[in-house]
Amino acid sequence: MRLTNQEAFEKYASEAHERWTSKFGGDRWVINVGISECSKAKGALDTWSNLQLHLDNSGLDYELHQVGCAGWCFAEPFIEVIAPDSPGIVFQNVVTDLVPELVQAFKSGDFPVEHAMGVRGDESFKGIAPLNEHPFLKGQHRLLFKRAGEIDPDSIEEYIANGGYAGFVKALLEMTPEEIVHEVKESNVRGRGGAGFPAGIKWESGRRTQAWPKYVVANSHEGEPNVFKDRRLIESDPHLVLEGLMIACVALETPHGYNYIGGEHVLALARFQHAVDQAYELGLLGDNVLGTGKSFHMRVRSGGGAYICGEGSALMYAIMGERGQPRTKPPRSVEEGVWRRPTVLNNTETYAAVPSIITNGGSWYASIGTEQSKGTKLVTIQGPVARIGVAEVDMGYSLRSLIEDIYGGAKEGYTLKGIQMGGVSAGPLRMDQLDVGIDFESLEEVGAMLGSGGFVAFDESICAVDFARYLTQFNRYESCAKCTPCRLGNKALLEIVDKVRNGQSPNDVAALIEATSENIIDLSLCGLGQVAPMPLLGMMKAFPDEFEAHFRDGTCPQGQCPVSQPRLRLEPVAAD
Confidence of residue 341 (pLDDT cuts 50, 70, 90): very high
pLDDT over 90 at 40, yes or no:
yes
The CATH code of domain 464-563 reads 1.20.1440.230
Q: In 10 A of CB 44, how many CB atoms? A: 25
128-139 residue pLDDT tens: 999 999 999 999
CB 540 within 8 A of CB 500: no
Note the pLDDT of residue 26. 78
Alpha carbons 172 and 5: distance in angstroms, whole number: 11
479-506 residue pLDDT tens: 999 999 999 999 999 999 999 999 999 8
Alpha carbons 269 and 261: distance in angstroms, whole number: 6
Q: Where in the chain are all domains bearing CATH 3.10.20.600?
A: 376-459
pLDDT over 90 at 193, yes or no:
no
Residue 338, CA distances (Å) to 198, 219, 314, 460, 476 in order: 21, 13, 10, 46, 27
Q: What integer is the mean pLDDT of 179-189?
A: 98
Which DSSP symbol is given to 128?
B
Q: Which backbone phi and psi does 410 adopt, to 5 degrees?
A: -70, 140
CATH of 27-138, one of 3.30.830.10, 1.10.10.10, 3.40.50.2300, 3.40.30.10: 3.40.30.10
Note the pLDDT of residue 568. 47
Note the pLDDT of residue 194. 83
Domain 376-459 class, CATH top level: alpha beta
DSSP H or E stretch at residue 117: strand 116-119
Three-state DSSP class for residue 286 = strand
Q: Where in the chain are all domains bearing CATH 3.40.50.11540?
A: 156-366
- Fold observed for domain 156-366: Rossmann fold (3.40.50)
CB 373 within 8 A of CB 439: yes
Alpha carbons 69 and 476: distance in angstroms, whole number: 33
Q: Where in the chain are all domains bearing CATH 1.20.1440.230?
A: 464-563
- In 3D, which of 77, 54, 57 has the Cα closest to residue 66? 77
